[in-house]
Amino acid sequence: MFDEFMTLHVENTGPNALALGIAPAVFERDGADAGRVKELTAELHRLSGTLMDLSEVTSIYMTVQGAGTIDPFMNWATMLQPKPLLEASNVRGCAVQAAGRLQGLRAKAEALAAPSLDPVRLHPLVWAAACRLWNDGHLRQAVAAAGEAVTGQMKQLTGRNDSADTSLWQQAFSASSPEAGKPRLRWPGDPVDQDVRTMNDGLRQFAPGANMVIRNPATHVDEALTEQDALERLATLSVLARLIDSCAVVSVSAGERTSAV
């Protein structure tokens, strides 16, 4: 915009300059569209107002003899006045420098920014159950629906719906061997391997715990959740759903292990 403004003006510089330091630093060009000049001038005044804090953020200032340190963006129009504080080259140079510094600050901010959690990228089962309620602003109900969906995932794999949900979670990951009609969910791998045992022990506590502290309150306690609280709960349910995807179903019939996915 400033460049367009300058196409309609002539800089008072060079060996033929008129009364340097006394006459304006910029004159309107002969034959310039007066209406367009007026529009651009008004728009640059408006823009300078929006840039009130730019000099402070970028540390871009001009030191002018007799005037001290001034903001080049707020004082751009002095180049049109007698005894101008700035010339067009000053304003243009400061703008280019400010743009460079802003680019650097943006790169730094992006490098230091914390990663964001996009609910759309949660486990498909979790987000499919929660998305409509979430988008309608019903965050607690969205968490409850996601909790029900993950519990349904466990019930489908074990083929059970004959007990309270928390009890079914406990039985699904029980350390006991599977029984007739009571298959178990197990982390894949050699059951005597320490890492596999650790995963099975963790799931034995994590899965029922998630049901008790996330799904149950969201279902039975009428208390609003903040977006951050709700998102963290959905993320936890997403982790549980992905872990279950990796588990094997172990039944009593032949001790066979089948993939959960």
SS in 3 state form for the chain? CHHHHHHCEEECCCCCCCCCCCCCCEEECCCCCHHHHHHHHHHHHHHHHHCCCHHHHHCCCEEECCCEEECCCCCHHHHHCCCCCCCHHHHHHHHHHHHHHHHHHHHHHHHHCCCCCCHHHCCHHHHHHHHHHHHCCCHHHHHHHHHHHHHHHHHHHHCCCCCCHHHHHHHHCCCCCCECCECEEECCCCCCCHHHHHHHHHHHHHHHHHHHHHHHHHHHCCCCCCHHHHHHHHHHHHHHHHHHHHCEEECCCCCCEEECC
Q: What is the distance, to the nearest Å, from the Cα of residue 21 to the centroid of all Cα atoms in its chain?
A: 50
Do 24 and 102 belong to one domain? yes
Give the per-residue pLDDT at 259.
Answer: 46
| Domain that residue 161 falls in | 119-259
Do 41 and 157 belong to one domain? no
Do 129 and 62 belong to one domain? no
Decide which of 112, 131, 148 is a domain's last residue: 112
Give the per-residue pLDDT at 242.
Answer: 97
Can you tell me the distance from the alpha carbon of 237 to that of 214, in angstroms, rounded to the nearest whole number? Answer: 8
Give the per-residue pLDDT at 247.
Answer: 96
Our CA dihedral for 68, 69, 71, 75, rounded to 10 degrees, sits at 10
Do 149 and 100 belong to one domain? no
Decide which of 79, 112, 145 is a domain's last residue: 112
Do 8 and 63 belong to one domain? yes
Do 104 and 165 belong to one domain? no
| Total count of domains within the chain | 2
Structure tokens at 207: 């899965």
Do 254 and 148 belong to one domain? yes
Nearest of 113, 115, 117 to residue 127 by alpha carbon: 117
Do 149 and 250 belong to one domain? yes
Q: Report the DSSP beta bridge partners of residue 122.
A: none
Decide which of 65, 86, 112 is a domain's last residue: 112
> What one-letter code names the amino acid at 188?
P
Can you tell me the distance from the alpha carbon of 84 to that of 20, in angstroms, rounded to the nearest whole number? Answer: 9
Do 155 and 106 belong to one domain? no
Q: Which of the residues in the chain have pLDDT under 70?
A: 253-261
Can you tell me the distance from the alpha carbon of 203 to that of 185, in angstroms, rounded to the nearest whole number? Answer: 9
Structure tokens at 132: 């409509």
Do 69 and 136 belong to one domain? no
Do 144 and 195 belong to one domain? yes
Nearest of 20, 209, 234 to residue 140 by alpha carbon: 234
